[in-house]
Amino acid sequence: MNQGTLTPSSLGAIIRNGGILPLFCIQRPDVTSLDDFINPTANQHFVSRSEQRLNSCSKDTKSKKAEIYRFSIVDSKKPIIRLEGKTQIWRNLGFQDLFTFMRTGEKDRLNFERLFEPHEAPYPEHVSSLLAMINEVRGRLDKQPKIHLKDLEGFDFERFLGHVKFIYTYKTMNWLRNPYKIKEVLKRFDTFLDHSLDKPGAHSLYLALAKKNSSEEAYICKTYGVSSKEYQQWIRLLLLFLYVDRYDDESQLDGFINEFFIAPEFSTTIFVAVFDERCALLTDTGVVKDSGNGPLTYMNVSKNCIVALEHAFVDITLDRVIREYGFDESVREQIRTRIATGVNAVLTVNSYELLGGYNNICVKAAALEVFCATPDVHGVQVLKSEQERK
């Protein structure tokens, strides 16, 4: 069955038509469909090691001992942070069996590793290709403060957009799977809780969560301040977004993201900023979600590159364009046709005022900590660690 894409309208249709089943409709399937999801990984990252390595302070960022500077939040409003020294990436931004459905043996468990991999594994390559494309064109800026990439002669905008979409999808997955965001995610998708895709493997994993180690679950819930019910609803919601089997071309998450780019009520702008001397923060919430003229996401792509992606509501953009250019209301629909589903991208280089603003936003949005490739953070007050004060 074609599952369609996971949007408020299309997911509702899938539920009505049987593509997604509520809890009381689920039948117990053949458990052999679970074999592909057995994995020994216990230390499960909600911000991948690959992403953290792109922000590492180590010379060899691919080393098992690669490190990143860690800062605790002292005052999120001012903002002020405290340097806590370096931490090894392999143990950072992860939690024991956070994404485990159930144990299947002494070392093995059913978990999300196979479902995360399609987004995690290619991430560094997409980032590398995106940065290479930016480096090729940044010399054309000359004395211009910014450049519109879609209008740039010889620039492969569709390829660029493909990389951005992949990165955006991965970052959205990070937001969905971030344990500090459990309550926020559940509230955002409350209509879709306690449902499963109408697929045998998805059913099996859904039901397997009932056999999760109770003490393991209790420790997770205590750490992140959620109830057992909230935790299980969150895991099953992740399953709804990310489950794929051998017959699927994409997950519901892929379709959900793509819908923002083709929905007629939105136009999209991608703001790319790169820096030569200073570094961007990586927040423990993975990304920063906000709203401007529509949904807005701030993303750390690497220590020297950030992207802000905004899906602006067309009606808001229309009002601004008509007001600024003095157009008559009679041409509103013509302008709408030109704006709807449009995608534009703007590149800036070494705008440190912009970097300072982004770092401020990261501190304000963090749950407990932020991370960086350097001990000094542009635009943010950094206090010395207790060890340094001694």
Q: How far apart are CA 172 and CA 299, in angstroms?
A: 10
Element (DSSP H or E) covering residue 201: helix 200-208
CA distances 312 to 126, 318, 343, Å, are: 25, 10, 10
Question: Angle 349-300-231 (CA atoms, 0-180°, nearest 5)?
Answer: 165
Checking DSSP bridges between strand 38-39 and strand 109-111, what pairing results, if any? antiparallel
CB burial readout 310-340, b (16+ within 10 A) else e: bbbbbeebbeebeeeeeeeeeeeeebbeebb
The average pLDDT across 348-364 equals 96
The sign of the torsion formed by the CA atoms of 353, 170, 287, 81 equals negative
Q: How far apart are CA 294 and CA 200, in angstroms?
A: 37
| CB atoms inside a 10 Å sphere around CB 154 | 7
Q: How far apart are CA 119 and CA 254, in angstroms?
A: 10
Residue 39 β-bridge partners = 109
| Residue found by looking up tokens 């030569």 in the block | 276
Q: How far apart are CA 162 and CA 168, in angstroms?
A: 10
- Report pLDDT for 385: 78
Are 185 and 234 in contact, with CB atoms under 8 Å apart? yes
Q: List, for residues 170-202, the tens digit of each pLDDT value.
A: 999 999 999 999 999 999 999 999 899 988 899
Question: What does the chain come to in residues?
Answer: 390
* Nearest Cα residue to 99 out of 232, 204, 193: 232
Q: List, for residues 85-105, the tens digit of each pLDDT value.
A: 999 999 999 999 999 999 998
Are 95 and 44 in contact, with CB atoms under 8 Å apart? yes
The average pLDDT across 308-332 equals 83
- Report pLDDT for 388: 62
In the structure, what pLDDT confidence band is assigned to residue 12 with cuts at 50, 70 and 90?
Answer: very low
Of 5-14, 137-146, 157-166, the one with minimum mean pLDDT is 5-14
Distance of CA 58 to the CA centre of its chain: 24
Helix extents (H) in 273-390: 314-325, 332-339, 352-365, 386-389
Q: How far apart are CA 312 and CA 334, in angstroms?
A: 18
Both structure tokens of 330: 């009679």
Quote the percentage of the chain above a pLDDT of 90.
72
The average pLDDT across 311-320 equals 85
Confidence (pTM): 0.89
Are 15 and 191 in contact, with CB atoms under 8 Å apart? no
